[in-house]
Amino acid sequence: MTKPEILLIEPMMPEIEKQLDAAYTVHRFTSLAQLKDIAGRIRGIATGGATGVPQAVMDSLPALEIISINGIGTDAVNLKEARQRNIHVTTTPGVLTDDVADMAIGLIVSLLRGLPAGDRYVRDGEWGHKAAPPLGRKVTGKKLGIVGMGQVGRAIAHRARSFAMPVSYTDLRDLELKDYAFVSDLKTLARSSEILVIAASGGAGSRHLVNREVLDALGPDGFLINVARGSVVDEQALAQALDAGTLGGAGLDVFEHEPEVAETLRHSSRVVLQPHRASATVETRLAMGNLVVKNLAAHFADESLLTAVI
Ligand code: 8YV
């Protein structure tokens, strides 16, 4: 039997790609031109959450049956078109929740305690020769606001409790959570929070939700953490607020135009930056990749999909 042909848009772990190579003829995406002769035979796509499927690629694959996303974000895939064309879409929920929440906490501690500056101070041999880095800010007990109380938001809230942080959140509706206060208005949440963490999905509905007004409400002693999508924040307004000191600081794992990061952000002493690494651990990337493999296998065996969005 001939193997189904799939397009791999974003590389995965060697262990995962080995499984894909065993089951499929895998075309590793390089350019649209590469698709010219094979487009009609591509039945599946494996890709990353932020990478998704460029519209031009989707348009050029008439035989596409399934898009298996190695992540939880669907904002880089045209779901409307997928529905119209009966293309299945799967994600990897659950398995990355802990890692993303850990990264949020890591960014909070790193930012407030100034870990990167302290590390550089020791590394560069400045200890004992130059003035010590400025004092940090206490993490324990800070008022935490969470934007988006899905699985990741809740995992962050759960961790925050061991830092004695009072937790409030905003979402599309009151989720009636026993331990966490719902605040319907984001600006009000920002005003009453000392740390605001973004854990909401990306896409048109949440674009620039965190704008200048929200940043002003968070204020000069407030800290913004983003482990969700860069698009949720107006990055220009963020850079200006950091530059002007109207926002205390930011811990960012995601950006509006990855892998481009605004120069103001890269040079700011008020930020801790990560290259979209929240789910990037061996354990989690294996679990995610295995879900991608299993969803594709289920589809081509005519079995029900494990974690289908469509
Ligand atoms: C991954 C993500 O880094 O889950 C998502 O949507 O963006 C991240 O977990 C990505 O999917 C792997 O490329």
List alpha helices for 88-193, DSSP H. 97-113, 115-123, 151-161, 186-192
* The predicted structure's pLDDT at residue 31: 96
For residue 229, indicate whether it is catalytic: yes
83 is catalytic: no
Q: What is the pTM of this model?
A: 0.97
In which residue ranges of the chain is pLDDT below 70?
Answer: none
Residue 258 annotated as catalytic: yes
Exposed e or buried b per residue across 19-41, where buried means at least 16 C-beta atoms within 10 angstroms of its C-beta? bbeeebebbebeeeeebeeebeb
Q: How many angstroms separate the alpha carbon of residue 239 from the centre of ligand 1?
A: 24
Pick the catalytic residue from 213, 258, 283, 303.
258
pLDDT of residue 1: 77
Beta bridge partners of 44: 6, 66
Rounded CA separation 89/181 (Å): 34
Give the pocket of ligand 1 (CB within 6 Å). Answer: 10, 48-50, 70-73, 96, 276, 279
Token reading at 23: 């089951």
Q: What is the strand order of the sheet 167-170 is part of?
A: 181-182, 167-170, 144-147, 195-198, 223-226, 249-252, 271-273
pLDDT tens-place string over residues 24-83: 999 999 999 999 999 999 999 999 999 999 999 999 999 999 999 999 999 999 999 999
Mutate to test the pocket of ligand 1, among 92, 96, 151 (most ligand atoms within 8 A of CB): 96
Angle between helix 14-23 and helix 282-300 axes, rounded to 10 deg? 10
